Structure 1
Amino acid sequence: MLRRTFARTLLATSVVTSTALLAAACGGSGSEAVSSSGGGKNLNIYAWAGEIPDSVVKGFEKETGIKVTIDTFDSNETMTAKLSSGSSGYDLVEPSQYTVQQLIGQKLIQPLDHTQIKGLGNLATKFRNPSYDKGNKYSVPWIWGTTGFAYNDKCVKSATSWKTLFDARYKGKVYMLDNMLAAYIAGLQVTGHRATSTDKDQIAEATSALQKQKKILAGYNSTNYAQLLASGQACAAEAWSGTAMAKVVQSDSHVHYVIPEEGGSVWTDGMAIPKGAKNTTSAYKFINYLLRPEIAAKATDDGSSASANQAARSYIKDKAALNNPAIYAPDSAITKADFLLDPGTAMQYFQQGWTKVKAS
């Protein structure tokens, strides 16, 4: 069950390619709100594989009589390329937060008509006015996750800070995600900066910290770090939340997943309506359906993901998931967590720095 972790790896890694190509498009704005005239009894969705449970789709079809067709992608770039080609035929897409920025800039998604949406107030505070899409003008968050770290208390007695991953006492038993921007979340925050920094000097400072850290690392690992922690081969590792990490935390009382006190980061995948969508009435009905708490709860119960819908939590049957920080990080823990954004032209500083880190 590494699919969630693998998908998140693709998502984060693909930022490198997409931002280099699309940075100039970021920060733009659309022109007019989505037309409410699109009707029909069909709905074509382009989404992350496995993130919309079958139970949700079947329930919606039964209730509305609308036929839903879902095509899936394994990276934001695949989805963006499909929309860029024109006439994609999709009525809803599920971009991650930094891709929402890019799609806005390229005018590939349209502003939402909030008069047709019911239930935005059900979203958790973190997702109601996100930095990547102020006022949820273009997108409605569906699921979310975090970047933090995990440790085995047989080796590390207690840990709350990124500093644990830079501590020479654990030399040879520390792993970092094999992902440039993920590594820089830790590098920037451990040196006192925001994970969203695009400042050249701050990135250089983070680069220096990561170069020094490399001397104590066992390696970079984006696949089986959860298992390494469980076996004791790793004392601590940078980690993504999700199924693989959650299972180890639940089954092994010695492994703990932590959002670092410096902030860590939050990612989210949500619904947006592409430019030229034909079945917009069906799209709004589906968005409203997802915003219903009892439906949003299925993202967790049937999809093993954290729902962005705060009201859904009382409907979730899997109470263990609610108490597992590798699925639902505590609200207090993500207060300072940044949404990882498109760094735009600052990408060059990260790429140059990462080359130095890997070569050190």
Structure 2
Amino acid sequence: MRRSTVSRTLLTTAVVTTTALLATACGGSGDSGGSGTGSSSGGGKTLSIYAWAGEIPDSVVKGFEKETGIKVTVDTFDSNETMTAKLSSGASAYDLVEPSQYTVQQLIGQQLIQKLDHSKIEGLDNLAPKFRNPSYDQGNEYSVPWIWGTTGFAYNDTCVKSATSWKTLFDPKYKGKLYMLDNMLASYIAGLQVSGYRATSTDKDQIAKATDTLQKQKKILAGYNSTNYAQLLSTGQACAAEAWSGTAMAKVVQSNPRVHYVIPSEGGSIWTDGLAVPRGAKNTTSAYKFINYLLRPEVAALATDDGSSASTNQAARAHIKNKAALKNPAVYAPDSAIATSDFLLDPGTAMQYFQQGWTKIKAS
């Protein structure tokens, strides 16, 4: 994967808890730029972007610069928390940022991003239905989704004949050859869903039940692994493993026909990284031009062809040259599979229940 694997979902550190609490505490403060379209009209011929490393291909930036004459600077980060801290400090001068879905919620609460002016945006109807009115930002009021991926599991069919359910990762007959992601909320996605609950649950009792389920599962695991699980699956050292979609998993699925990536029948989860305009952005005209440029199907296709990521742009699929990626579930999960997948959201104060449970699991 191109980004730090522990940052794909919510982190388990106090940094996230603090950010979530700040989102609640700061919801009523800030200047007018936090709740509206901002006080500056934003001209100029420059654009400063703060994005995930590798997620906006150079070909996209160069194409935009050539067409518009706008000079683009892209700084990169490796965690949502790093990006949020920079915006919170007030020291940044970015015109666009690329938060993940739960961070969009937090940035809205802290009034660190502006409500988008949809009259200046063209091409939102090119987005796949899943991303047009997402649960974390209804009506796409604050963000435009750019790329996406999933949390599911993978298996090697020399060991596991066929699998569609999280139950595979809880089956004692595969003892010692099962792995879970070494990530708190990623593990809880499986623990909650296999127990019959939603991945987005913040219910104390449901989280407690999932904790008990994961504690029992630990006895049959080979370990928690967020680094080389794809390679372990490829060599047959692992029968099945919880997994994130993305470059590493996609390469193994593409090269080894015995390895299969699955969105579990219970739903799995879906993440997305999108573009938002920070409060106080100086070059909003350039920012909207860039958003519109990315919403063009032929440009959005470059997210896959040059960036190895799944594009949120449904219309882009006809323009993608890498047809193998479209058929690879570790890049593009089937529409039927993601229909029931939850966006992992900011659990807010319920984070304490996950942290307490995770401590018990790791200590058991």
TM tier, smaller: over 0.9
Higher alpha-carbon deviation: 297-306 or 16-25? 16-25
> Structure 2: 5+ residue runs without aligned partners?
29-33
Secondary structure, aligned partner of 1:38: coil
Letter in 1 for 2:202: T
- Distance in 1, matches of 2:227 and 2:141, equals 35
Q: Does 1:152 align with 2:146?
A: no
**Partner of residue 331, structure 1:** 335
Q: Distance in 1 between matches of 2:145 and 2:184?
A: 25
Q: In 1, are the aligned partners of 2:147 and 2:274 still within 8 Å (CA)?
A: yes
Cα distance between partner residues in 1 of 2:182 and 2:91: 36
Partner of 2:4: 7
Q: Match for 2:350 among 331, 346, 349?
A: 346
1:261 counterpart SS class: coil
Q: CA deviation at 1:34?
A: 3.4
Give the whole-Å Cα distance in 2 for the aligned partners of 1:45 and 1:325: 30
CA-based RMSD: 1.3
Partner of 1:266: 270
**What corresponds to 1:23 in structure 2?**
20
Q: Which amino acid aligns with 1:159?
A: A
Q: How many residues align?
A: 357
Q: Secondary structure at the match of 2:9?
A: helix
Residue 225 in structure 1 maps to residue 222 in structure 2: no
Matched to 1:329, the amino acid is A
* Matched AA of 1:167: D
The aligned residue for residue 133 of structure 2 is 129
Distance (Å, rounded) in 1 between the aligned partners of 2:43 and 2:126: 26
Give unmatched runs, 5+ long, in structure 1: none
TM-score, normalised to structure 1, is 0.97
Say whether residues 1:176 and 2:177 are aligned partners. Answer: no
Q: Is 1:110 aligned to residue 114 of structure 2?
A: yes
Q: Which amino acid aligns with 1:42?
A: T
Relative distance call for 1:99 and 1:227 in structure 2 (3 A) is same
- The CA deviation at 1:76 is 0.6
Question: What amino acid is aligned across from residue 304 of structure 1 in structure 2?
Answer: S
The answer to whether the 8 Å contact 2:5/2:226 transfers is no
**Are positions 1:185 and 2:189 aligned together?**
yes
Distance 1:242 1:226 in 2: 11
Aligned to 1:69: 73
Kindly state the Cα deviation for residue 31 of structure 1 after the two structures are TM-superposed.
2.2
Equivalent in the alignment of 1:236: 240
Residue 37 of structure 1, CA deviation: 1.6
Indicate which of 42, 45, 50 corresponds to 1:46.
50
* CA–CA separation in structure 2 for the residues paired with 1:336 and 1:25: 31
Please list, as runs of the form range in 1=range in 2, the aligned pairs for 1:273-352 lying within 5 A after superposition: 273-352=277-356
- Offset at residue 15 of structure 1 (A): 5.5
Post-superposition offset of 1:22: 2.2
Partner AA of 1:116 in structure 2:
K
How far apart, CA to CA, are the structure 1 residues paired with 2:359 and 2:21?
23
Amino acid at match of 1:291: L
What secondary structure, in the 3-state scheme, does the structure 2 residue paired with 1:148 have?
A: strand
Residues 66-91 of structure 1 show CA distances to partners (whole Å, capped at 9, x for unaligned) of 00000000111111111111141100
Corresponding residue of 1:142:
146
1:358 matched to 2:362? The reply is yes
CA distance in 1, matches of 2:17, 2:41: 37
